[in-house]
Structure formats: C-alpha cells, structure tokens
Structure 1
C-alpha cells in the first residue's frame, strides 16, 4: 500500500482529468490502468497505470464508443498523455 500512497501523493491527491482533490472519506478515486493490458478486476502489472481518477465511468464509456476528440476532448487529452508517457518509458528489465 505504500506504493499506492506514494502514487496518490505524486499527484497531490488530484484527479488527472478534472483536477478535483480527494477528500478524507471519499472512496470514488481510483488508480486507472489500461484494461487492454491487464484484467479489469485484479492487480495491474504496473506498466499500464495511466493515472489517478475521481470517476472512471465516463472514461470507460469514451473508450467503448470509439475515441473521438469531438466528443470529449478532456478524455482524449488524458489518454494521449498516457500514451506519450508509455512510449518514453524504458521497458522493465527481465
């Protein structure tokens, strides 16, 4: 759990999309990962972690209907930042 706490702190406990800050007792915030990489239920491999979000319902819908900048630009911006980061991160050593 220390890694989760450090991840949240690295984002100042704020949603990577809307920048709302997490409040004590707020259970809605989740660590988002690319579901195409790891199962949606269960632990992530860590390589596909995209960010810290207050609500993943809208993002899930956005990915399912086919990403379109015209529909929800803030979601597309978030996903493009993750994809850029993933291209620039060296693969873990085996």
Structure 2
C-alpha cells in the first residue's frame, strides 16, 4: 500500500451529522456509496484519477447530499458517518444505526 493510502486510512474517523453541518452548508460534503472503499476514493481524488471519479459520479456512487437527506439528518444529528477530510471536501459514508 502506498504511503498516501496509509495516511488516508489513518485519517478516517467517525463524525456525527451535527459536526458535518458546517461543511454541508459550504457544499463540501460528498457521500461515498458503501460499495466503495473510502480510502480508494480519497486516493483517486487526491491523484486526479478523473476517469474513475467521473464513473463513480455517473453511477451515483459519489454524490452530494440532497436537501431531503439533510432534512432527515438534521432531525437526527446523532447520525454517524465514517469521514475522511480531503481538502476542500469531506468524504463520508453512512454508518448503520
């Protein structure tokens, strides 16, 4: 595994929705499908692997949270996510309740 992948793996943490709201307000939260590996996605973004990233977006595996999702999560701010900060974005995956 590359050094960058190790760094990204070590940078993954859990976050409550409440903590992510300021990032969502600046349109910086990106939802990563549970079918994808968060480290691999972060690595692809960091290394400008546009073809992979564009394919994931096309397949709706990477997307910004919808207004409806934000409303639901706002009502349960203890909702938890795996999170990876990759400036200027915060990549998140929902954790099971």
TM-score between both structures, scaled by the size of structure 1: 0.33
Q: RCO greater where, 1 or 2, for CA within 8 Å and sep 6 or more?
A: 2
Q: Normalized against structure 2, the TM-score is what?
A: 0.33
